[in-house]
């Protein structure tokens, strides 16, 4: 009996030792891959700045090197924005067949319905009447969530240009009179319009680029960071080089 217990104890120790060794190997592989990923995260815009500053590992002991670089980049690097910027995007006129009242249910108050007119871009909800009603008729900032919902219900995407509809879906997320409102600028690439938007006062240097998808005729919204010189999720629009060339005529590093 004692011999049997000794064999069981030895087997448990061997299994525990094997498990510990496996966990150590996994941890080493994880940290090595994470380090490589972090080093690849920052683009040429940062690398140019890093070359002009002392950011050696020896000067920042016990601190995540890549994380510190990103934070110092945000503090040191500033963007220079030149050109004509607009505080809104003007939509094309809608067909007069939409000059009628459509009821839209309130999402927050039961049994309440608001009257929406797509042709005039009006709604009877408190948000619209208080903050949006005095804006120009084709101003994208007139679109409250009820107008947006009715647009989706009547499939307005089949009637207006795809760029305008994509902007409606993605860039009507801020209060029209907020300091965090959006600014827009536009340009053309190979005969196709491109719109760029960013939020005023946003501490993160991300721009929304509305451009055609590669090998498609439809538009998509892409995120671009000029400081890190990279696209969000490595997804970029068609004619990427031409888009960035035009973009950098307006937005550049100081």
- The domain segmentation of the chain, as residue ranges, is 2-77, 78-93+161-254, 95-159
Q: What's residue 96's pLDDT?
A: 93
Q: How many CB atoms lie within 10 A of CB 190?
A: 10
The 8 Å CB, 24+ separation contacts for 7-11 are none
pTM reported for the whole predicted model: 0.65
Q: What's residue 236's pLDDT?
A: 94
Q: Give exposure, 40-78, as e/b (b: 16+ Cβ within 10 Å).
A: eebeebbeebeeeeebeeeeeeeeeebeebbebbeeebe
User: Per residue, what are the HEC states of the chain?
Assistant: CHHHHHHHHHHHHHHHHHHHHHHHHHHHHHHHHHHHHHHHHCCHHHHHHHHCCCCCHHHCCCCCHHHHHHHHHHHHCCEEECCCCECCCECCCCCHHHCCCEEEECCCCCCCEEEEECCCCEECCHHHHHHCCCCCCCEHHHCCHHHHHHHHHCCHHHCCCHHHHHHHHHCCCCCCCCCCCEEEEEEEECCEEEEEEEECCCCCCCEEEEEECCCCCCEEEEEEECCCCEEHHHCCCCCHHHHHHHHHHHEEEC
Q: What's residue 85's pLDDT?
A: 81
Residue by residue, pLDDT tens for the chain (254 residues) are 455 555 555 666 777 787 888 888 887 777 666 554 444 444 444 444 445 444 343 333 333 333 334 344 444 456 777 777 888 889 999 999 999 999 999 988 888 999 999 999 999 999 999 989 999 989 998 999 999 999 999 999 999 999 999 999 887 766 666 655 788 999 999 999 999 998 776 777 889 999 999 888 899 999 999 988 999 999 999 999 999 999 999 888 76
- Distance from C-alpha of 24 to C-alpha of 178, rounded to nearest angstrom: 51
Q: What's residue 88's pLDDT?
A: 85
Q: Judge whether 74 and 98 are in contact, CB under 8 Å.
A: no
């Amino acid at each position: 009996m004692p011999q049997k217990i000794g064999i069981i104890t030895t087997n448990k120790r061997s299994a525990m030792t094997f498990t510990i060794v496996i966990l150590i190997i996994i941890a080493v592989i994880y940290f090595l891959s994470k380090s490589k990923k972090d080093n690849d995260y920052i683009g040429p815009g940062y690398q140019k700045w890093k070359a002009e500053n002392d950011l050696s590992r020896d000067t920042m002991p016990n601190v995540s090197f890549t994380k510190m670089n990103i934070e110092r980049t945000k503090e040191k690097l500033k963007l220079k924005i030149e050109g004509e910027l607009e505080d809104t995007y003007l939509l094309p006129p809608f067909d007069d067949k939409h000059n009628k009242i459509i009821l839209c249910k309130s999402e927050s108050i039961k049994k309440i319905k608001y009257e929406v007119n797509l042709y005039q871009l009006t709604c009877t909800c408190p948000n619209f009447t208080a903050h949006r009603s005095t804006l120009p008729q084709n101003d994208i900032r007139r679109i409250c969530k009820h107008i947006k919902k009715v647009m989706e219900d009547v499939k307005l995407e089949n009637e207006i240009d795809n760029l305008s509809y994509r902007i409606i879906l993605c860039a009507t997320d801020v209060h029209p009179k907020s300091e965090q409102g959006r600014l827009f600028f536009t340009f053309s690439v190979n005969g196709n319009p491109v719109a760029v938007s960013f939020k005023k006062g946003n501490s993160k240097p991300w721009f929304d680029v509305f451009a055609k998808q590669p090998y498609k005729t439809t538009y998509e919204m892409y995120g671009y960071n000029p400081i890190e010189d990279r696209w969000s999720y490595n997804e970029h629009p068609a004619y990427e080089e031409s888009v960035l060339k035009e973009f950098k005529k307006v937005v550049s590093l100081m």
